[in-house]
Amino acid sequence: MVETDVVVVGAGPVGLFAVFQCGMVKLRCHVIDALPHPGGQLTALYPEKPIYDCPGHPSILAADLVDRLVAQAAPFDPVYHFGVTATTLDPDSHGGWHLGLSDGTVLCARAVILASGGGAFSPKRPPLPDLDQFEGRSVFYSVPRRDALRGQRVVIAGGGDAAVDWAISLAESAARVSVVHRRDRFRAAPMAEATLRRLVAEGKIDLVAPAQLHGLEGQDGRLDAVVVADLNGVTRRLPADCLLAFFGLLGEIGPIAQWGLAMEAHAVVIDPATGACSRPGLFACGDICTYPGKLRLILTGFAEAARAAYSAYAAVHPGEALHFVHSTTAGVPGAE
């Protein structure tokens, strides 16, 4: 068992900001996330996509925002548990909680802040033979940085925003980009689709549609080609160094649904004045929570994270008054 003041479930942008806000009121945090890195969907799906609605940032890349949020929380020494999920939640005899993790760790805390967005995410995997031999080496479901694929022959499978945006982004830096989709129509933003089709017309992107993935060729986890099949079953070989499979993520709220919390449409109902869930000592912020008038915006999640952190203080230190102090007065460890 590991003791801490607060456990934050979810290391997406809202969870990371909750860690900072907890630190500002001197609460120690452990953070868990099913993904192997911080950032949630921003890192998994849109690392090099600009975000326009963060106050003070006319435009900021998703990966850069995550990096800054991690750096902002760093002075408070949070402990991260990546690649694990919360499996059990049990009350202890002192009014706190024991949170069991999938790796066998048990975290003991007086407060838990749920910031897990749509839940624990896992990619939708294409049903291809020997796929596991290539995953993580030449088959990927997200791209941390564009430069990692510079000069490579890239096959992108999918028809949504992620597939179209990455095809456009890589058209100038990859040796070749081929987009495979089962239809000739896309589910992406109209302007992005128009840009894609312009690049196809200019010969900078190969559009292979309608078609679907059929097989992989290569050795020792390294691709030589991706085999696709048209609607008549006729196969075609696309030389490739990398396959990006963008079929979306499966979001599973998982055991949280069994924790006896008031729920509405797969979201946790909270009191917006406190961030409190229906069980004492549990709070929620971001896309995992709901209440009348909820706005599903990143800036709303940040405000909810601050509210949850201040409410968590009362759970960790019952009966103690918390005097509000602006950050310019309180300061941050290590800041000049």
User: Residue 42: pLDDT above 70?
Assistant: yes
Q: How confident is the model at residue 91 (pLDDT cuts 50, 70, 90)?
A: very high
User: Residue 303: pLDDT above 80?
Assistant: yes
pLDDT of residue 267: 92
Give percent of the chain above pLDDT 70. Answer: 97
Q: Rounded to an integer, what distance in angstroms lies between the CA atom of residue 125 and that of residue 262? A: 32
pLDDT of residue 333: 86
User: Mean pLDDT highest for which of 4-18, 45-59, 115-129?
Assistant: 4-18
Q: How confident is the model at residue 336 (pLDDT cuts 50, 70, 90)?
A: low
pLDDT of residue 121: 62
Kindly report the pTM of this predicted structure.
0.74
Q: Which residues are bridge partners to 271 per DSSP?
A: 276
pLDDT of residue 64: 93
Q: Rounded to an integer, what distance in angstroms lies between the CA atom of residue 271 and that of residue 263? A: 12
| Helices assigned H by DSSP within the chain | 13-24, 41-44, 62-73, 131-134, 161-170, 190-201, 298-316, 327-330
pLDDT tens readout for residues 64-88? 999 999 999 999 999 999 999 999 9
pLDDT average, residue stretch 174-198: 94
Q: Which residues are bridge partners to 113 per DSSP?
A: 8, 283
Q: How confident is the model at residue 119 (pLDDT cuts 50, 70, 90)?
A: low
User: Residue 144: pLDDT above 70?
Assistant: no
Q: Rounded to an integer, what distance in angstroms lies between the CA atom of residue 215 and that of residue 217? A: 7
**Ranges 18-22, 25-29, 118-122: which has the least confidence:** 118-122
pLDDT of residue 120: 58
User: Residue 195: pLDDT above 80?
Assistant: yes
Domains of the chain, CATH where assigned: 2-122+250-330 (3.50.50.60), 126-247 (3.50.50.60)
Question: Residues 6 or more apart from 270 whose CB is under 8 A from it?
Answer: 276, 277, 283, 284, 289, 290, 291
Between 266 and 253, whose confidence is greater? 266
Residue 302: name the closest of 6, 9, 7, 14 by CA: 14
User: Residue 21: pLDDT above 80?
Assistant: yes
pLDDT average, residue stretch 15-24: 98
The per-residue pLDDT of the chain, averaged, comes to 92
pLDDT average, residue stretch 202-228: 96
pLDDT tens readout for residues 46-62? 777 788 899 999 999 99
Question: Residues 6 or more apart from 141 whose CB is under 8 A from it?
Answer: 44, 123, 125, 244, 245, 246, 249
Alpha-carbon torsion angle 131, 132, 134, 138, nearest 10? 90
User: Residue 10: pLDDT above 90?
Assistant: yes
User: Residue 106: pLDDT above 70?
Assistant: yes
Cis peptide before 210 (omega within 30 of 0): yes
pLDDT of residue 123: 78
